[in-house]
Structure formats: C-alpha cells, structure tokens
C-alpha cells in the first residue's frame, strides 16, 4: 500500500472540520482546549486506523466490511474480527463506477462501488468478507458485480417486520451469516463470545447516544459538523472499548457547554445516510446561521436507542429482535421512523426539519410525504431535498435552506 493512500483519509477529515471552524460566525463561543482535543481525536480515527488495520492484517487478523446498519457487528466481533463500515460518501470514484453502473443510480451505491473497483479504499482492501443486504434493488445488483472480485455474503432482509414468518426468516438469515463467518474467518463463534460482543455494542451505542443527547439543551453542545464527525468516525475505530472511552470523555468535556451560540434555528436532518464527504446540507445549514441539533439518518441517531435484550436464551434470536426494529424506509409499513422523528422533534426542541433524499432512493423519496405530514401536524417548517454528492446544486440548496430558516419564529 502506498503512503498516498494512507494519508488521504486523514487529510479529508481534517480539512472539512477545520474549514468549518474557520468560518464560524462571530457570535459563537470558542471551543475549550479540552473539547477541541476530543473532537480532533475523532477526526483522526479514520486515518489512524488505516495504519492499525494494516498492522492487524500483517499479524493474521481478520476484517469484515459491511454497508448497512442491519449488519450485526456482534457476530464479527465474536469471531475475533474487526467490522468496518464501507459506504462511499465521496464523489471522487463515481465517474469510474458509472462505467459499469447506471448514471441515474444512488450516489451512495456508485461511490461505494467506485471505491471498491478502483482499489482506493484501504478498508475494502483489508476486508476478508463483504456482508451486504437487500435493503434496495440497486445495492443487490451492485453486490453481484462486487462478488466478481471479493467474497460477498448477502443477507435477505424481510420487509414486513411485524410478521412472525419474517422474524423466523431473519433469525435463519443470521444463522446462515454466522456459518459463513465461521467458514471465511476460520473460527467458531461461541455463544459466550457472542454475549460479550452484544454487551460491548450495547455499551458503545449507549455512549454515542449520550453524546448526541447533549444537543437537547439550548444552546446545543455540538455543532452539526462536530456531531457528524463524532458519530460517523467511530465506525472506523478498530477498538470499540477505546470508542467508549473517547465518547465518555467527550461527553464529560461538554458538561459545561459546547461551541454553539444560543438562539440559532434548531434543525433536524432525516433521510438518507450522510458521512464526511457528503455533508453539504449539514454544512450549508450552519453556514446560513442555523444549527443541526440532530441527525436521524441511519448513520446518526436512528439505531442508537436500540439495545439488544440480553434476557433471551439464544443470542441470535436476541440480535434478530434488535436489528429488525431498525426503522429503515425499506420496511413496510415503517411507522417506527415516524414515531422516532416525533419523539426527537420534542426531545431536541426542533424548530425545522429537512428530509434529505439522495438521487434514485425511491423508498426515502416516497416516505417524504409522511415526514411532511408529521411536520404539518407538529407545526414545523419542512423542506424535502433531493440531491447527489456533487456541489453543482449548492447555490439552489442554499436558497431553499435559507428560506426554511427564515420560517423559524424567534
């Protein structure tokens, strides 16, 4: 692996947040030195863990790559492997992906495939097995192509989560995944190891949720860009115990307040996944003097309240119970997402809501009608945005977001 590939993730993560800090409005408080140091630790996770995983692989360690929050990380951890998220969040590799995939496909799919096929994602290169899922038709077909040059296992996800047959099918899918992991990784997954991994992931989710919940206060403790950096970056850390320590330390450092000035319109962003590289809507809201207090997206708060119930006798049944509760738009009906948005709007004192849909993501685009209805009932200004990873629509987005913020009564 070249030095250039190792340095790219570090530079990109740093540049995004550093630019944000330089452009903060004059009314905002300076970050405390301790707070700033904790945020910068999260900024460095991706780059530092490229080095860690390289060393891990050289020592014979195993890595499992995944593309969705429906993947039960606990199974990989119980097998002694490191789970890493692989969703593409940058525009750079999309042109190469379009040589194989349709141009009118979701940018997340094209970016993910582009990084894989161009050999520019070290985390993909390190992965001994890729685990996919049937959350959308585009990803299903993309995994077929990906299987031509990497071992891929696709979980069949049931769409009707309240059905008894759906639950039984999902338990069986997790049993099949367990067997595939044991085969590919060369290690048996014992129930005792699985319960330990379940406890670890429960504790990490609780620590991340506690940090996010600091933004319920006024002013919020974290800016939207800081929140995105913390929650998104933790998925690249090889050591989840270290993640928990870092999250707890950040929460403690913010106990006396954060960096955001009071009185800004409080915005919740929902919809498709957002990561560093596809953060333009978060950045624009704060450039226009609003503040993103919460990200409901699956890369944000959506899964954090979910804890695996350890009272089950079978750990796989316990995992199936938790993961099938994720309120993804691929589910029908998906009442859980509206319930979560309703409670978050109250808990985070939300004053406006943005529903972000990436191009060609039909399930989220269709559900926008229900999000709009929820906002009307709650008396919240609402904006639905459909975009991709490019910056070509920045000015039009800016005009629409500015209009939304002006609707917030102060």
Q: What pLDDT band is residue 31 in, cutting at 50, 70 and 90?
A: low
Q: Does the structure show a pLDDT above 90 at 171?
A: yes
Q: What pLDDT band is residue 410 in, cutting at 50, 70 and 90?
A: low
Q: Does the structure show a pLDDT above 80 at 401?
A: yes
d(C-alpha 156, C-alpha 134), whole Å: 5
Confidence (pTM):
0.92
What pLDDT, in 10s, does the model give residues 291-320? Answer: 999 999 999 999 999 999 999 999 999 999
Percent of the chain with pLDDT over 70: 92
Q: Does the structure show a pLDDT above 70 at 21?
A: no
d(C-alpha 327, C-alpha 300), whole Å: 13
Q: Which domain holds residue 225?
A: 3-406
Number of structural domains in the chain: 1
**Mean pLDDT, range 113-124, rounded to an integer:** 96
87 alpha carbon, distance to own chain's centre: 9
From edge to edge, which strands make up the β-sheet containing 152-155? 82-85, 63-66, 129-133, 152-155
Out of 36-40, 155-159, 211-215, pick the least confident. Answer: 36-40
Q: What is the pLDDT of residue 10?
A: 35
Q: What pLDDT band is residue 374 in, cutting at 50, 70 and 90?
A: very high
d(C-alpha 129, C-alpha 152), whole Å: 6
Count CB atoms within 10 A of the CB of residue 283: 18
């Amino acid at each position: 692996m070249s030095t250039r590939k190792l340095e790219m993730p570090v530079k990109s993560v740093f540049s995004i947040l550093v630019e944000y800090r330089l452009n903060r409005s004059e009314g905002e408080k300076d970050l405390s030195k301790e707070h700033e140091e904790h945020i910068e630790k999260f900024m460095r996770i991706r780059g530092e863990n490229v080095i860690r995983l390289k060393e891990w692989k050289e020592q014979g360690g195993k890595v499992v790559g995944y593309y969705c929050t429906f993947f039960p990380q606990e199974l990989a951890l119980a097998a002694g492997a490191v789970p890493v998220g692989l969703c593409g969040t940058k525009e750079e590799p999309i042109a190469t992906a379009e040589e194989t995939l349709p141009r009118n496909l979701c940018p997340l799919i094209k970016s993910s495939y582009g990084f894989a096929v161009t050999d520019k994602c070290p985390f993909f290169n390190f992965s001994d097995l890729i685990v996919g899922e049937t959350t959308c038709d585009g990803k299903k077909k993309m995994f077929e192509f990906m299987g031509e040059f990497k071992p891929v296992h696709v979980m069949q996800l049931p769409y009707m989560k309240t059905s008894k047959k759906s639950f039984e099918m999902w338990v069986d899918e997790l049993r099949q995944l367990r067997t595939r992991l044991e085969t590919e990784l060369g290690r048996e997954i014992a129930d005792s190891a699985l319960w330990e991994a379940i406890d670890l992931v429960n504790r990490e989710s609780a620590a991340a949720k506690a940090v996010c919940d600091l933004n319920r206060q006024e002013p919020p403790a974290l800016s939207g860009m800081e929140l995105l950096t913390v929650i998104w970056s933790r998925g690249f850390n090889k050591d989840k115990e270290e993640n928990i320590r870092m999250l707890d330390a950040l929460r403690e450092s913010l106990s006396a307040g954060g960096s955001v000035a009071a009185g800004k319109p409080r915005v919740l962003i929902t919809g498709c996944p957002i990561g560093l590289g596809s953060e333009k809507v978060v950045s624009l809201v704060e450039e226009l003097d609003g503040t993103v207090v919460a990200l409901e997206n699956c890369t944000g708060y959506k899964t954090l309240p979910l804890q695996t119930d350890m009272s089950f006798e079978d750990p796989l049944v316990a995992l199936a119970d938790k993961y099938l509760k994720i309120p993804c738009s691929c589910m029908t009906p998906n009442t859980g997402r509206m319930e979560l948005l309703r409670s978050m709007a109250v808990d985070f004192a939300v004053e406006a809501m943005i529903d972000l849909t990436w191009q060609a993501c039909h399930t989220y685009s269709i559900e926008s009608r229900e999000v709009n209805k929820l906002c009307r009932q709650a008396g919240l200004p609402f904006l639905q945005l459909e975009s991709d990873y490019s910056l070509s629509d920045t000015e039009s987005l800016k005009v629409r977001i500015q209009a939304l913020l002006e609707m917030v009564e102060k």
